């Protein structure tokens, strides 16, 4: 995945404004990639933007390994009754982080790759920017004297409907803007967090294909996100159908 964040002042919610400290360098960026440092809101400092690496290495790991995604269903996938299981809660890799180390990644859009290797830019239909993606994070260092490296993984969910028809199989989990505070609060019950783990409704999203130069270019240019095809979800115009009516005169 690739992310874009364009605003210089980040307000995730009308009543939840996070501050950008001087220690975090930030300029609008169209092309955030794995391994890049990104503006991030962690449960450790819930009202301040920090700089975290896109890609989490668990603190228990001896060697550095960037984990980019945390699947919501873990290894449990979907049950026979069609219900998406929240296996991440019991996942050995993420069970500590989902309970104690959660975060929000503010973005204006994100870019995913279809099964045919085509990049799609996904955005909110109501043009609300930025919006928050649900994440987990951890801190890692190779040697005891090395500084800690803070990194995050994006919680992702399987998709269906028009996105799946376009070859897009997974999307990041988008948080409802009313739930940021609850998501970042770590002293509540786990069930309160679990209740927030639901895929964002497809009818609130849309996407369009962009040039595959986004995967090969290190440029940070607006032209990289220009559309090169039609929207995934097309607006269907309602057409009025007039019926021919015959008036019978019965005598």
**Percent of the chain residues past pLDDT 90, beyond the cut:** 38
Lowest mean pLDDT among 101-115, 133-147, 183-197: 183-197
pLDDT grade, residue 186 (50/70/90)?
confident
| Residue 38 lies inside a defined structural domain of this protein | yes
| pLDDT surpasses 60 at 160 | yes
Q: What radius of gyration, in Å, describes the C-alpha atoms of the chain?
A: 21
Q: How many CB atoms lie within 10 A of CB 59?
A: 14
Q: Write down the pLDDT at residue 123.
A: 93
| Residue 188 lies inside a defined structural domain of this protein | yes
Number of H helices, E strands in the chain: 5, 14
Q: Write down the pLDDT at residue 139.
A: 94
Q: How many CB atoms lie within 10 A of CB 187?
A: 6
| Residue 244 lies inside a defined structural domain of this protein | no
| DSSP code of residue 235 | P
| Residue 248 lies inside a defined structural domain of this protein | no
Residue 138 CB burial class (10 angstroms; 0-12, 13-18, ≥19): buried
| Residue 145 lies inside a defined structural domain of this protein | yes
| Residue 218 lies inside a defined structural domain of this protein | yes
Q: How far is CA 217 from the centre of its chain?
A: 22
State the alpha helices, DSSP H only, in 167-223: 180-184, 190-194, 213-216
| Residue 197 lies inside a defined structural domain of this protein | yes
Total number of domains constituting the chain: 1
CATH number, domain containing residue 192: 3.90.1680.10
For 129-157, what is the mean pLDDT?
Answer: 91
| Residue 249 lies inside a defined structural domain of this protein | no
Per-residue model confidence as pLDDT tens digits over 71-95: 998 765 554 445 667 888 888 899 8
Q: Which residues form the domain of 80?
A: 2-225
pTM to 2 decimals? Answer: 0.84
């Amino acid at each position: 995945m690739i992310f874009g964040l364009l605003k210089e002042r980040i307000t995730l919610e009308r009543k939840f404004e996070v501050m950008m400290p001087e220690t975090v360098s930030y300029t609008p960026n169209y092309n955030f990639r794995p391994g890049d440092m990104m503006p991030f809101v962690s449960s450790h400092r819930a009202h301040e933007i920090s700089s975290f690496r896109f890609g989490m290495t668990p603190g228990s790991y001896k060697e550095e390994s960037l984990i980019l995604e945390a699947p919501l269903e873990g290894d449990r996938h979907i049950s026979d009754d069609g219900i998406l299981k929240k296996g991440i809660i019991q996942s050995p890799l993420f069970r500590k982080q989902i309970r104690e180390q959660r975060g929000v990644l503010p973005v204006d859009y994100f870019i995913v790759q279809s099964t045919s290797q085509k990049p799609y830019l996904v955005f909110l239909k109501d043009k609300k920017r930025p919006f928050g993606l649900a994440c987990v994070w951890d801190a890692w260092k190779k040697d005891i004297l090395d500084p800690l490296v803070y990194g995050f993984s994006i919680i992702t969910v399987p998709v269906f409907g028009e996105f799946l028809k376009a070859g897009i199989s997974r999307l990041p989990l988008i948080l409802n803007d009313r739930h940021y505070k609850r998501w970042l609060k770590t002293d509540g019950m786990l069930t309160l967090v679990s209740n927030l783990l639901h895929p964002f409704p497809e009818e609130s999203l849309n996407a369009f294909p962009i040039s595959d130069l986004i995967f090969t270019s290190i440029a940070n240019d607006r032209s990289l996100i220009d559309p090169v095809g039609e929207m995934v979800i097309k607006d269907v115009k309602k057409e009025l159908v007039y019926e021919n009516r015959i008036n019978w005169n019965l005598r």
